[in-house]
Amino acid sequence: MTPWPGAPRRVREPKVVAWFMARRAVRFQGWRRTDALVRALVCGAGLMLVGLVMHRVELAVIGLPLVIGLLLTKAPSGTPEVVSAPLPDTVVAGQHAVVGVTVRPGEGAVFTALRMPLPTTAGVGPVHLLPATDGEVRTSVVWNAWGHGIYLRPDHLFASHDGLHVFGPVVGIAVQHTVLPPIEPLVPGPLPPRAAGLVGMHRSARPGDGMELRDIRTFQPGDRLRRVDWRVSLRAAAAAGGTLMPGTLHVRERHAEADADLVLALDTRLDVGRAVGEWNARPVGMDVRRGGSLDLGVRASSSIAAAYLRHGDRVGLVDLGHPRGGVPVGSGHRQLQRIRHQLVHAARRVEGSGDPVLNQTRVPSGATVVVLSPFLDDQLVDLTVQLTRRGRLVLAVDLLPAELAPDRTTPWGAPVLSIVRAEHRMRLRAAEEHGVVVVPWDHDHADGRLAAILRLIRGRRR
């Protein structure tokens, strides 16, 4: 078959090159000779050659046993393997666990080089030199940071006597894991109840079958006898002549209890830390910066969601950087797990640009909205003000680190930092003027502070 004009011609590799490539591929499979063995053979053969040329018998006597011994050395026949013990795919930040691998060196292996994580951190870890014996190698690890990553990759290499033959190096199977953000203990505050809620943990304005006393009034047709306040009724009967008559019976009227909705709106577009010069640089080896704005936002969202879900409220999550992300409002322990997994997934998609998007269908009527962001752009302030104008209770949590360091690589570092701080203060002041309550997030003083602020806001709204 003749190729058409201009078609590329297939270049056939010489058989010699293919043979060398095949030999090279076989060389790295199974046990193979090391460079030390090759150098020892070359050294022994060289001593024999020099002894024969220079008629030095002692050199030939030294090189001959070395060459014969190395040629008679056989490679080990065993097939070593390293098998890692299974662990749960999902763990919690701050959790401790014991990671172990089972080592089966086979016949002929003397020592092994095994890569294991350090006891203080989880990850690939350094290489440890150990004797090649059957057994299990364990180490205790702690997950200090949340996110996706590798907590174990048992790379290994086995060697025979004097390191003349090696098996490997073999890149171990990486074990993936998902570390959920930790939950800080928080005191949930009172949220405005939903208008459609019938049963819940918060007091509503209408009467019902709650626990908090609303009023004491005279008995009306349809009231239940168990609501009669006999002390007040007897006093009224005594004042009326000592007999119970229709106008002397009084009942206790209580407030109805309703559930509440809380929507957490997290800004995942930016991840800034204390150093202003590193804001445009992506952290190496991790999804987010340790101690940065996104790290604080994820930890705060997880803690707030856990506190209010435990209180019996309905909590949802909105990803301001990705409209299709987020979790609709719900309740229960499974809702908390969905929110935490979504927080970890959203932190991997930091883009650093784009306008915040909040779908109004994700925010139920009467829900309280908590916006978590460093507030470094005007679009997010406009979005927060729009929510307030629509009658929503909005709480803005400022995630910008309190102590910022200027960029030392440029003489404009300090002026740029002062401009950034001034614009940040103006945005927060503009939000407060439109009725948005702004509070900086601090893990050390978060316990009880959020509840006090919500209680104060609810008192003002009344």
Query: Is pLDDT above 90 for 255?
Result: no
Q: Which residues pair with 318 in a beta bridge?
A: 265
Helix residue ranges, H only, 311-377: 333-346
- pLDDT given for residue 204 in this prediction: 44
- Residue 147 is part of a domain; what is its CATH number? 2.60.40.10
Is residue 197 in a domain?
A: no
- Residue 281 is part of a domain; what is its CATH number? 3.40.50
Is residue 3 in a domain?
A: no
29 neighbors 170 (Cβ within 8 angstroms): no
Half-sphere exposure of 274 (CA within 13 A, CB side): 5
Is residue 341 in a domain?
A: yes
Q: Which residue has the higher pLDDT, 320 or 198?
A: 320
Q: Which residue has the higher pLDDT, 283 or 446?
A: 283
* Rg, C-alpha atoms of the chain: 36
149 Cβ contact partners less than 8 Å away, ≥ 6 residues apart: 122, 123, 176, 177, 179, 286
Question: 118 phi and psi, to 5 degrees?
Answer: -75, 155
Q: Which residue has the higher pLDDT, 335 or 452?
A: 335
145 neighbors 93 (Cβ within 8 angstroms): yes
Pair (64, 105) in one structural domain: no
- pLDDT given for residue 448 in this prediction: 54
Pair of tokens at residue 331: 């309740």
Query: Which residue's entry shows tokens 């009669």?
Result: 228
362 Cβ contact partners less than 8 Å away, ≥ 6 residues apart: 263, 316, 318, 326, 328
What average pLDDT does the segment 37-43 reach?
A: 81
Pair (234, 289) in one structural domain: no
Confidence band for 280, pLDDT divided at 50, 70 and 90:
confident
Pair of tokens at residue 150: 């590798």
What average pLDDT does the segment 262-279 reach?
A: 84
Pair (307, 349) in one structural domain: yes
H helix count then E strand count, the chain: 9, 19
- pLDDT given for residue 435 in this prediction: 83
Lowest mean pLDDT of 44-58, 215-229, 285-299, 440-454, name the range: 440-454
* DSSP category for residue 286: S
The rounded mean pLDDT for the chain is 76
285 Cβ contact partners less than 8 Å away, ≥ 6 residues apart: none
- pLDDT given for residue 454 in this prediction: 64
Domain boundary among the residues 27, 50, 71 is at 71
Pair (308, 439) in one structural domain: yes
Q: Which residue has the higher pLDDT, 214 or 181?
A: 181
Is residue 190 in a domain?
A: no
Among left, alpha and beta (phi > 0; psi -120 to 50; other), residue 14 is: beta
Cis peptide before 169 (omega within 30 of 0): yes
Query: Is pLDDT above 80 for 457?
Result: no
Pair (330, 381) in one structural domain: yes
Pair (227, 172) in one structural domain: no
Lowest mean pLDDT of 112-121, 210-219, 229-238, 310-319, name the range: 210-219
Is residue 378 in a domain?
A: yes
Is residue 5 in a domain?
A: no
* DSSP category for residue 347: G
Q: How far apart are CA 249 and CA 237, in angstroms?
A: 8
Is residue 57 in a domain?
A: yes
Is residue 38 in a domain?
A: yes
Q: Which residue has the higher pLDDT, 152 or 314?
A: 314
Pair of tokens at residue 140: 């205790």
What average pLDDT does the segment 229-258 reach?
A: 74
DSSP labels for 127-162? EEEEE--SEEEEEEEE--S-EEEEEE---EEEE-GG
Identity at 161, one-letter amino acid code: H
Pair (65, 207) in one structural domain: no
In the chain, the percentage of residues whose pLDDT exceeds 70 is 78
Pair of tokens at residue 281: 């640089």
132 neighbors 112 (Cβ within 8 angstroms): yes
Query: Is pLDDT above 80 for 437?
Result: yes
In the chain, the percentage of residues whose pLDDT exceeds 90 is 4
Query: Is pLDDT above 90 for 357?
Result: no
Report the predicted TM-score, pTM, of the whole model to 2 decimal places: 0.67
Query: Is pLDDT above 70 for 12?
Result: no
- pLDDT given for residue 213 in this prediction: 63
Domain boundary among the residues 180, 215, 233 is at 180
Pair of tokens at residue 312: 């019996």
Domains of the chain: total: 4
What average pLDDT does the segment 44-65 reach?
A: 81
- pLDDT given for residue 458 in this prediction: 54
In 219-313, at which residue ranges do the beta strands (DSSP E only) sit? 250-258, 261-266
In 234-390, at which residue ranges do the beta strands (DSSP E only) sit? 250-258, 261-266, 314-319, 327-330, 368-373
Confidence band for 338, pLDDT divided at 50, 70 and 90:
very high
Pair (271, 247) in one structural domain: no
- pLDDT given for residue 426 in this prediction: 93
Give the three-state DSSP class for 214. strand
- pLDDT given for residue 88 in this prediction: 76
Q: How far apart are CA 95 and CA 384, in angstroms?
A: 36
Q: What is the pLDDT of residues 378-432, one digit of tens each?
A: 888 898 888 888 878 888 888 888 888 888 888 888 888 899 899 999 999 998 8
Pair (52, 90) in one structural domain: no
- pLDDT given for residue 392 in this prediction: 81
Q: How far apart are CA 324 and CA 67, in angstroms?
A: 70
Pair (275, 247) in one structural domain: no
- pLDDT given for residue 284 in this prediction: 58
Confidence band for 8, pLDDT divided at 50, 70 and 90:
very low
Q: How far apart are CA 274 and CA 291, in angstroms?
A: 8
Lowest mean pLDDT of 95-99, 169-173, 194-198, 418-422, name the range: 194-198
Q: How far apart are CA 107 and CA 78, in angstroms?
A: 5
Which range marks the domain in which residue 356 is found?
A: 261-461
Pair (212, 127) in one structural domain: no
Half-sphere exposure of 270 (CA within 13 A, CB side): 22
- pLDDT given for residue 202 in this prediction: 47
- pLDDT given for residue 317 in this prediction: 92
Pair (104, 170) in one structural domain: yes
- pLDDT given for residue 10 in this prediction: 42
